Amino acid sequence: MKQISLTQFLIEEQRAKGNIKPDLRLLIEVVARACKAISIAVGKGALGGVLGDAGTGNIQGEAQKKLDVLSNEILLEANEWGGHVAALASEEMDHSYPIQNEQCKGGYLLVFDPLDGSSNIDVNISVGTIFSVLKSPEGVAQPGDDAFLQPGTQQVAAGYTVYGPSTMLVLTVGSGVHAFTLDRELGSFVLTQRNMQIPEDTKEYSINASNARFWEPPVQRYITELQAGKEGPRERDFNMRWVASMVADVHRIITRGGIFMYPLDSKTKAQGGKLRLLYEANPMSMIVEQAGGAATTGRERILDLQPQKLHQRVPVIMGSKNEVERVTGYHK
Ligand code: AHG
Ligand code: MN
Ligand code: MN
Ligand code: MN
């Protein structure tokens, strides 16, 4: 079988299909290259001396892992001279980072979660990288945090890399969702699935059930109904999975369906939720919608939200369409 590399796929998207501009193609290549470097660091584990805490914290009050910091540096360094972005923003940086060197400046904004699933690093469970690409506002020479406050519908590309038993990059440029597996010997991402589709129905749900007593009544009702199984109103049994790496949990849903929820609860209500809008919820929502799924906060479509803050948090309910619609309906 003829193999199609990420490079070849992107050139086809640009030339034959006109779905992307050349500089967006090159930006995605830079991100993919950085993800390969992160994959190598993650893969070395204890041998690379990369496990454990960095001894620092980020703006959201989380303790940073060494790999959080390293992955952030890898993405930053790769894109700083890449020449395709005007500014970058990340979970691990308090504020956005404008590109100073005029010769290295491009027309896009890149925002990322350099390492998703930090709590899983030290126990050798899948982690990931999430990224979102926006256009840099025209006529703004030095885009600051405000430039990033664009609704998710404005994303021109979104993707994630999951560092699991194999490393996979899943990408959308607004024309479906496509998966690439890293061929470690060749050092290149190879197209392994075109047009991924999330089944509309599912029997699998994903939620941190230890928070059950903090959930709002609509979510309590929904999960209680799933747990009642065959004997309950849903008249079938449901299974539960929670990796606690959003990338891995959503990747499972993109692959075989399911519903992923980090809903509003009384613990995180003051901050608006647990997951971050710009570099977790928005890119994952674009991917999920592009794969035929749905993504809401329980009340609104995530991609329609007007961000107010760079590190804004939101409730997240995404995945198989009929289930997302059902639980969203319970909120009405
Ligand atoms: P991050 O490691 O980038 O800070 O994100 C962690 C997130 C997400 O990946 C996951 O779904 C969730 O936190 C897990 O939260 P709990 O530990 O509350 O289950
Ligand atoms: Mn974190
Ligand atoms: Mn994350
Ligand atoms: Mn992270």
Q: Dmax over Cα atoms in the chain, in whole Å? A: 65
Site to substitute for ligand 1 among 122, 245, 265, 266, most atoms within 8 A of C-beta: 245
pLDDT of residue 209: 97
323 labeled binding residue: no
Asked if this assembly's ipTM is beyond 0.95, the reply is yes
How are beta strands 275-276 and 313-314 bridged, if at all?
antiparallel
- Given a contact cutoff of 8 angstroms between Cβ atoms, the answer to whether 92 and 72 are in contact is yes
What are 102's two structure tokens? 């005029």
Q: Is the CB of 72 under 6 A from ligand 1?
A: no
Nearest-CA residue for atom 14 of ligand 1: 244
Task: Let me know: does 74 contact 34? Beta carbons within 8 Å.
Answer: yes
Ligand lying nearest the CA atom of residue 62 = 2
**Domain 6-193 coded CATH 3.30.540.10:** yes
Residue 112 CA to residue 22 CA, distance in Å, equals 21
Does ligand 1 have an atom closer than 6 angstroms to the CB of 119? yes
- Residue 95 has what pLDDT? 98
Q: DSSP assignment of 70-139, as one string? A: HHHHHHHHHHHTTSSEEEEEETTSSS-EE---GGG--SEEEEEEEEE-GGGGGGT--EEEEEEEEEPPTT
The DSSP code sequence of 127-169 is EEEEEEEEEPPTT-SS--GGGG---GGG-SEEEEEEESSSEEE
Annotated binding-site residue? 230: no
Find out whether the beta carbon of 116 lies less than 6 Å from any atom of ligand 1.
Answer: yes
Q: Which ligand is nearest to the CA of 117?
A: 1
CATH 3.30.540.10 positions along the chain are 6-193
**Ligand positioned closest to the Cα atom of 160:** 3
The predicted structure's pLDDT at residue 84: 96
Is 246 near ligand 1, meaning CB less than 6 Å away?
yes
Q: List, as ranges, residues with CB under 5 A of the ion ligand 3.
A: 113, 116
Nearest atom of ligand 1 to the alpha carbon of 118: 2
Return the best residue to mutate from 59, 111, 116 for the ligand 1 pocket (most ligand atoms within 8 A of CB).
Answer: 116
Ligand 1 atom with the shortest distance to the CA of 113: 3
- What pLDDT shows up at residue 17? 87
204-331 maps to CATH 3.40.190.80: yes
Ligand 1: does its nearest atom lie under 6 Å from the Cβ of 208? yes
113 lines ligand 1 (CB under 6 A): yes
Q: Where does CATH 3.40.190.80 sit in the chain?
A: 204-331
pLDDT in tens, the chain (332 residues): 789 999 999 999 999 888 999 999 999 999 999 999 999 999 999 999 999 999 999 999 999 999 999 999 999 999 998 999 999 999 999 999 999 998 999 999 999 999 999 999 999 999 999 999 999 999 998 999 999 999 999 999 999 999 999 999 999 999 999 999 999 999 999 999 999 999 999 999 999 999 999 999 999 999 999 999 999 999 999 999 999 999 999 999 999 999 999 999 999 999 999 999 999 999 999 999 999 999 999 999 999 999 999 999 999 999 999 999 999 999 99
Kindly give the number of the ligand 1 atom that is closest to the alpha carbon of 245. 9
Q: Is 208 annotated as belonging to a binding site? A: yes
